[in-house]
């Protein structure tokens, strides 16, 4: 899901989006 990563901005939004992406990929399993 590398294409889903946001443009580098605040570390908070980046880490939050990373968690959402990981959760989404885990749910798709």
Q: What is the pLDDT of residues 1-29, one digit of tens each?
A: 555 555 555 566 778 888 888 999 888 87
Rounded CA-CA distance 1/26 in Å is 11
- pLDDT for the residue 23: 92
- pLDDT for the residue 17: 83
Sign of CA dihedral 10, 13, 19, 27: negative
Rounded CA-CA distance 2/23 in Å is 14
- pLDDT for the residue 15: 80
Rounded CA-CA distance 29/24 in Å is 9
- pLDDT for the residue 4: 56
7 phi/psi in degrees, rounded to 5: -70, 135
Report H helices in 1-29. Answer: 11-27
């Amino acid at each position: 899901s590398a294409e889903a990563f946001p443009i580098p901005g605040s570390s908070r939004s980046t880490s939050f989006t990373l968690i959402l992406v990981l959760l989404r990929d885990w749910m798709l399993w």
